[in-house]
Chains A and B, each alone.
Chain A
């Protein structure tokens, strides 16, 4: 389907009906997934979507919407409904005109025609190899999902923007079990030639084997080494807190902290629209502005919030190419590497834990960053610089801003993390965090 004419025609219709400002994105995606459990395929999925997103402003009244009906008549009706609804809204003092181009857009290589065109049977063969590898490496049973997705996107705005982009990604999320012990593996790539699912399967199986014999532990305060998967989960919440919309809604622990120290000086956090291997690659944001590299935290100092043109106006700042029409957000986060190897980090720990995976992070108070999260899969007890045995039933209960200031080591090794629990792709290292509160359920 040719997306450019769709975006242009809907834009033209909105303008014809009275829109003074409008942005239209036509997006097409084709997602193929093989889900497996108990060493067998449980279902395959093929999902083809064409969705048109539109934003329109008229006399400072603002509206946005999406439709998954791409027929010409339906798109005209969609535009009519948007404008008719927009006319009866109240004018908003928050209105800011859409940015005007031209912009210089970044380029990338995160598109692989082999992912877009892979035929039936190809993913299934991968899954066979992935299951075989997990069993060969000592796993008893395995479950997961292998997903190949191709996206094409075109934008047209009243700011003179006409631009298109395309990208692909291939993802493995896998869990391997030995008895009731488990290990987790991930592989995320934008190109087939850099996709290594068998290494993920092997790592998950190795973790599962090591997690079989469990030892005792007590509630208390410990040093934690977070794997890239766990680090990415916490860092994505820092990225969300950097959204100017979260800040002005009072649901961010970064309110009022620009140019202040919010983390240890080892931490630099950058958001990229485009980066090698970034599985949420975008060359333009939802207002048509070119995406760029935004340094959110530079050696511990908060440098900027993420803005669209509307939040930028209210903060007397410039857009950072992070729109979301309502909520600016990160595209692909990167934590800069440190100097340590994971083994060197373990040697630094007098008493603590190595956490390889986690889930269910929830905040008691988004403004202070008080939260808890549950380690899942293999978790290891460390004493006097050595991994002693595996443990279970931990919960990390702490404050995210306190933890950011308590990072004492960052690894050289980093991985792109994107899965069920981490929905902002993050290039994450291992993190060593000092003095973290760990709790246990009673009963």
Chain B
């Protein structure tokens, strides 16, 4: 699919001619393939071709977004006219005029590393890999039957041409691949709906078909299937008294995303998402606030090679960089687009993303993680007289200011005198955000990422992200039980 730069430039020029003081246009094409194998039988393969133009225009401080997939010169002009008219119509109800921070605008091309183009991979190859994955797990493990299995492999190739009236002009290409599953594990007449990987997530990276080799899904599904089969047999309740808790990277990455990344989104802090994704326990003046121990380090970085949330320039033409959200337990930086950066009298840190032509660019995370420390896993367990290791989870949620959260373990073990013992059934970590980050006293050397889809916006946008981190240790936490 060729993206016609002239069409995007026409949109910008036409918007300016109608009096808009800022216009951007984004041609956004995504080619997706999804293959599903249910109980060893293929469900219909899915091919999705999404292509269109998204426009934002600002008129005297009022912002309007418009999108269409009818890409004739006439229809693009009509769309721009509609967008500018709607911006004008909303002026009387715009409070402080929306202005953008001044930034150096990106020009040129960027792309994710890619060796084998996904467009060259036939659906039969994808299904073949799913069948082989199914063979790995279909007999179950340790006497636990995997009676129902839904395996999915999804690929996408996202191409964009972006131009704005402040001088940005960027072309980009990011292919992605991810693998996920739903399994019904049956044991002793009981049934447990789990996912591999746990927590409704995926294994996935940006890149071409070579991603499959890097992910080595066969080893992963064999090991994870075996571990989770053991986990569903666990019957022991977690200790009722406060104990030390070691969390695996799956859980740590999710916590980083939910209780550090989301509350740092400046649009939430300013109330723009109040009726949908909510607001934040952090306020405009919370930079420098201590929310955790000196071991708490959380960052978000779009520039990590092979990551699901990979990008080098955001949807406003600003160059991407790593953002350190929590440093030694102190709130260090928020995620900004150009509009919120202007309100905060700072610079955008390139957090503006849109998942399709028909979605407004808004502030999003990319790859959010707890930074690794210097402990080995064994060193982390040393000195724990009684504790619980929560390696993975299924259920989780957090309130809409990102303060009151809960993660329920799937694979979990008792720790006694520094050693892992029998499995623990569904330990519940239900804590406030400051309690979580203040209880952190050790970070592992290891780091691992999972692919996930982050939901935000209205209309809803599911953005590809990585969540990650090392093993970490929390001291003196009271766990709940189901």
Contacts and interface: CB of A to CB of B under 8 A. Distances in A.
Q: Are A and B subunits of one complex?
A: yes
B174 interface: no
Of A70, A374, A440, A443, which is in contact with the most chain B CB atoms at under 10 Å from its CB?
A443
Contact of B45 (A1, A85, A361, A366): A85
B51 A250 contact: no
A360 interface: yes
B376 interface: no
Contact of B404 (A67, A366, A441): A441
Given A131-B93, A173-B275, A50 B192 contact: no
B69 A50 contact: yes
A393 B281 CA distance: 13
Interface string A173-217: 111010000000000000000000000000000000000000000
Given A441-B432, A443-B434, A359 B400 contact: yes
B36 interface: yes
B426 interface: yes
B18 interface: no
Interface string B419-431: 0000000101011
B289 interface: no
A360 B394 contact: no
A34 B275 CA distance: 13
Interface stretch (B81-89, B153-161, B214-222, B441-449): B81-89
B36 A365 contact: no
Contact of B66 (A47, A131, A371): A47
A68 B69 contact: yes
A406 interface: no
A72 to B, nearest CB: 13
A362 B396 contact: yes
A38 interface: yes
Contact of B123 (A85, A124, A250, A366): A85
A437 to B, nearest CB: 9
Interface stretch (A90-98, A103-111, A231-239, A268-276): A90-98
B42 A89 contact: yes
B184 interface: yes
Contacts of A62: 42-45
Contacts of A50: 69-70
A55 B435 contact: no
A195 B38 CA distance: 43
A387 interface: no
Interface string A43-68: 11111111100010000001111111
Nearest to B35: A89
Contact of A47 (B45, B67, B127): B67
A258 interface: no
Nearest to A204: B275
A350 B348 CA distance: 53
Contacts of A371: 395
Contact of A363 (B44, B395, B404): B395
Interface string B67-84: 111110000000100110
Contact of A143 (B64, B192, B275, B360): B275
B90 interface: yes
B62 A45 contact: no
Contact of A35 (B71, B270, B405, B458): B458
A424 interface: no
Interface string B148-180: 101000000000000000000000000000000
B44 A374 contact: no
Contact of B86 (A44, A326, A443): A44
Interface residues of B, number: 92
B398 interface: yes
A157 B405 CA distance: 48
B346 interface: no
A307 interface: no
A374 B397 contact: yes
A145 interface: yes
Contacts of B49: 65-69, 78
Nearest to B42: A92
Interface in B37-55: 38-39, 41-52
Given A38-B271, A63-B44, A85-B47, A365 B192 contact: yes
Contacts of B271: 37-38, 141, 143
B2 to A, nearest CB: 12
A176 to B, nearest CB: 9
A130 to B, nearest CB: 10
B358 interface: yes
A408 interface: no
A181 B89 CA distance: 31
B477 interface: yes
B182 interface: yes
Contact of A364 (B47, B95, B123, B395): B395
B45 A63 contact: yes
Listed residue (A131, A141, A173, A359) with the most chain B CB atoms within 10 angstroms of its CB: A359
Given A89-B42, A326-B36, A68 B51 contact: yes
Nearest to B184: A250
Nearest to A82: B47
A76 B35 CA distance: 23
B160 to A, nearest CB: 15
A81 interface: yes
Nearest to B36: A326
B458 A145 contact: yes
Nearest to B358: A47
B352 to A, nearest CB: 13
B399 interface: yes
B31 to A, nearest CB: 10
Contacts of A145: 275-276, 458
Contact of A420 (B193, B272, B460): B460
B89 A326 contact: no
B413 interface: no
A393 B404 contact: yes
B418 interface: no
Given A69-B51, A248-B148, A249-B150, A395 B275 contact: no
Interface string B263-287: 0000000111111101000000000
A326 B34 CA distance: 12
Nearest to B48: A66
B191 interface: yes
A442 B79 contact: no
A86 B45 CA distance: 8
Given A68-B50, A362-B395, A363-B395, A120 B41 contact: no
A133 interface: no
A364 B482 contact: yes
A370 B459 contact: no
Given A47-B66, A89-B45, A373-B397, A175 B275 contact: yes
A36 interface: yes
Contact of A439 (B147, B182, B480): B480
Contacts of A363: 193, 394-395
18 contacts: A37-B275, A41-B90, A42-B63, A42-B98, A44-B62, A44-B86, A45-B360, A48-B69, A64-B46, A65-B48, A68-B69, A89-B123, A128-B92, A250-B182, A395-B406, A440-B430, A442-B477, A443-B434
The 7 closest A-B pairs by CB, nearest first: A443-B435, A250-B184, A250-B148, A40-B95, A65-B47, A143-B274, A360-B397
Interface of B: 36, 38-39, 41-52, 62-71, 79, 82-83, 85-90, 92-96, 98, 122-124, 127, 147-148, 150, 182-184, 191-194, 270-276, 278, 357-358, 360, 394-400, 404-406, 408, 426, 428, 430-432, 434-436, 438, 458-460, 477-478, 480, 482
Interface of A: 1, 31-51, 55, 62-70, 78, 81-82, 85-86, 88-90, 92-94, 120-121, 124, 127-128, 131, 141, 143-145, 173-175, 177, 248-251, 255, 325-326, 359-368, 370-374, 376, 393, 395, 397, 420, 439-443
Given A68-B357, A250-B182, 9 more contacts: A38-B95, A42-B272, A68-B51, A86-B45, A248-B39, A326-B46, A363-B193, A376-B400, A395-B406
